[in-house]
Amino acid sequence: MTQPITPGHQPAPPAPESTGLSGWIDQRLPIISAFKAEYIHFRMPRNLNGLWNFGAILTIVLLLMLATGTFLAMHYTPTTAEAFLSVEAIDRQLAGGWLLRAIHMVGANLFLAALYVHLFRGLYYGSYKAPRELLWLTGLLLLVMVMATAFAGYILPWGQMSYWGADVISKAVGAVPVIGGTLEHILAGGEALGDIFLHRFFVLHFILAFLVVGVVGLHVAAVHVSGSNNPLGIEPKTPKDTVPFHPYFTSKDLFGLVLFALIFALLLFFWPGLLMEADNYAPADPMHTPADIEPEWYFLPFYGMLQSIPSKFGGLLAAAGSLLVLFALPWLDRSPVRSARFRPLCRVGLIGLVVSFVLLGLVGEHHAAGGWMLLGRAALLYYYCYFLVLLPLASRIEKTRPLPASIAAAQGEG
Ligand code: HEM
């Protein structure tokens, strides 16, 4: 029986020649041949575009965050009396401390930006559909974990925004019926946000960061089982549709990483404060509420959702539900066609989704009142309708464009 072409793995290669030290190691622990199978000979669809660079970018930025975070932790003091001062000391007194901190902060912003692009790529090309459901779910788990890590990290400098941001969230949690008070008490670690709270969030911040590494392992393993999707959303059929990971995607990923590093360096060395909130450079003062309590830009759409609904608990449900609905996506969208390139309705709907997400971010920034409140509600309604109405409906009524016979054929090499 002939073996089908599975995306990713070739028919089993012959047993590796055992030569020298690598052969000696490989016979006892086959990590070298496993690495070669997954990152050298692994077959990738030949038509991947630049959006497929973001997984590698995320992996490298994650490592950078862990490295800089570990050194920052060596000089940080998690008490309300000293947290702000210890961060100032890192910035002003520790040799190279300013650079460590700037890399960590710019890195956090770019990590979240890359994560949103990576997620959008999956939405656009239907990478959540079978057989990649678990890949999608592990990705979403990562999203939630990374958001929690970023939130915990923002609290650590114990500036005005750290404190008041935490206050908003703990009060939102407190609004959960029946158990809200208890939950708020557990989160705060006492009656008010103080030393216990800060210490807990410090531990949570770095534990979560290392757990993220473990889940990334599962996520990448899932990519290697199903193979990568591609802009056409069709599976490779013949060897002509694929190319080996090395040198094609090692060089392409490297190119993407260099471009990304240039943007990183530009922000780091020319506009390190561009994405930072000035208010967080003032120490936390529970007696003085800032005029404008606002989260980092990457949480603004969720903050907009929180505010668009007058009840605190309702807002919390709307914001949490906007993430939860993504977990159900593989089962909400039943269309056999993956890529939005061939799905006119879904494509327009997706543009609307991005617009509604950005609008919710603006609502978060301008505080949902008057016209902003109406806009926030309309955008929120659209966000939910896209997933719960438009996609299930499109699966039935959408007239999709014809798919090419194969990836090679689409590139004129049928
Ligand atoms: C810590 C965060 C993450 C890391 C380090 C990461 C890493 C990666 C890597 C290395 C790949 C393979 C290369 C590529 O296709 O770009 C990948 C693929 C993928 N990731 Fe992630 N990822 C993360 C978060 C997410 C999130 C939040 C989602 C969305 C729910 C997601 C969904 C996917 C999907 C669907 C694929 C396969 C895409 C395809 O082949 O079309 N990932 N990821």
Choosing from 38, 223, 254, 324 the residue with most ligand 1 atoms within 8 A of its CB, the one to mutate for a pocket test is 223
> pLDDT of 203-217, one tens digit each?
999 999 999 999 999
278, 386: one domain: no
pTM across the whole model? 0.95
284, 305: one domain: no
248, 142: one domain: yes
The distance of Cα 175 from the centroid of its chain, to the nearest Å, equals 27
Q: Is the CB of 143 under 6 A from ligand 1?
A: yes
pLDDT along the chain (414 residues), means of 10: 54 62 93 94 97 98 98 98 98 96 96 98 98 98 98 97 93 91 90 93 97 98 97 96 97 98 96 84 94 92 94 94 98 98 98 98 90 96 98 96 97 84
160, 302: one domain: no
Q: Is the CB of 59 under 6 A from ligand 1?
A: yes
Which backbone phi and psi does 300 adopt, to 5 degrees? -55, -45
Q: Which of 250, 271, 293 is the last residue of a domain?
A: 293
375, 282: one domain: no
pLDDT at position 7 is 62
Q: Which of 293, 314, 348 is the last residue of a domain?
A: 293
Structure tokens at 206: 């770095």
- Residue 288 annotated as binding? no
Q: Which of 273, 293, 313 is the last residue of a domain?
A: 293
pLDDT at position 3 is 43
156, 261: one domain: yes
Cα(136) to centroid(ligand 1), Å = 8
Which backbone phi and psi does 43 adopt, to 5 degrees? -90, 130
Residue with tokens 């990519």: 223
Residue closest by Cα to atom 12 of ligand 1: 55
Structure tokens at 321: 């539900």
323, 177: one domain: no
- Residue 118 annotated as binding? yes
Q: Is 253 a catalytic residue?
A: yes
Note whether 80 and 23 are within 8 A (CB): no
Structure tokens at 329: 């996506």
Which backbone phi and psi does 243 adopt, to 5 degrees? -135, 155
Q: How far is CA 224 from CA 31, 102, 138, 227, 289, in A?
A: 15, 34, 13, 5, 50
CATH value at residue 152: 1.20.810.10
**What Rg value do the Cα atoms of the chain yield, rounded?**
24
pLDDT at position 342 is 98
265, 336: one domain: no
C-alpha angle with apex 50: 48 to 55, nearest 5 degrees?
90
Which backbone phi and psi does 261 adopt, to 5 degrees? -65, -35
Residue 13 domain flag? no
Cα(52) to centroid(ligand 1), Å = 9
78, 133: one domain: yes
Q: How many residues belong to the chain?
A: 414
Residue 21 domain flag? no
pLDDT at position 1 is 36
Q: Is 252 a catalytic residue?
A: yes
Total domains in the fold of the chain: 2
Q: Is the CB of 228 under 6 A from ligand 1?
A: yes
Q: What is the residue type of 147?
A: M
Q: Is the CB of 223 under 6 A from ligand 1?
A: yes
- Residue 224 annotated as binding? yes
122, 143: one domain: yes
341, 285: one domain: no
pLDDT at position 361 is 97
SS3 labels along the chain: CCCCCCCECCCCCCCCCCCHHHHHHHHHCCHHHHHHHHHCCCEEECCCCHHHHHHHHHHHHHHHHHHHHHHHHCCCCCCCCCHHHHHHHHHHCCCCHHHHHHHHHHHHHHHHHHHHHHHHHHHHCCCCCCCCHHHHHHHHHHHHHHHHHHHHHHHCCCEHHHHHHHHHHHHHHHCCCCCHHHHHHHHHCCCCCCHHHHHHHHHHHHHHHHHHHHHHHHHHHHHHHHCCCCCCCCCCCCHHHEEEHHHHHHHHHHHHHHHHHHHHHHHHHHCCCCCCCHHHHCECCCCCCCCCCCCCHHHHHHHHHHHHCCCHHHHHHHHHHHHHHHHCHHHHCCCCCCCHHHCHHHHHHHHHHHHHHHHHHHHHHHCCCCHHHHHHHHHHHHHHHHHHHHHHHHHHHCCCCCCCCCHHHHCCCC
194, 286: one domain: yes
pLDDT at position 106 is 96
Query: What is the extent of the structural domain holding 367?
Result: 296-409
Structure tokens at 375: 């806009």
> pLDDT of 236-275, one tens digit each?
999 999 999 999 999 999 999 999 999 999 999 998 888 8
Cis peptide before 131, with omega less than 30 degrees from 0? yes
Residue 4 domain flag? no
Cα separation, 65 vs 21, in Å, equals 33
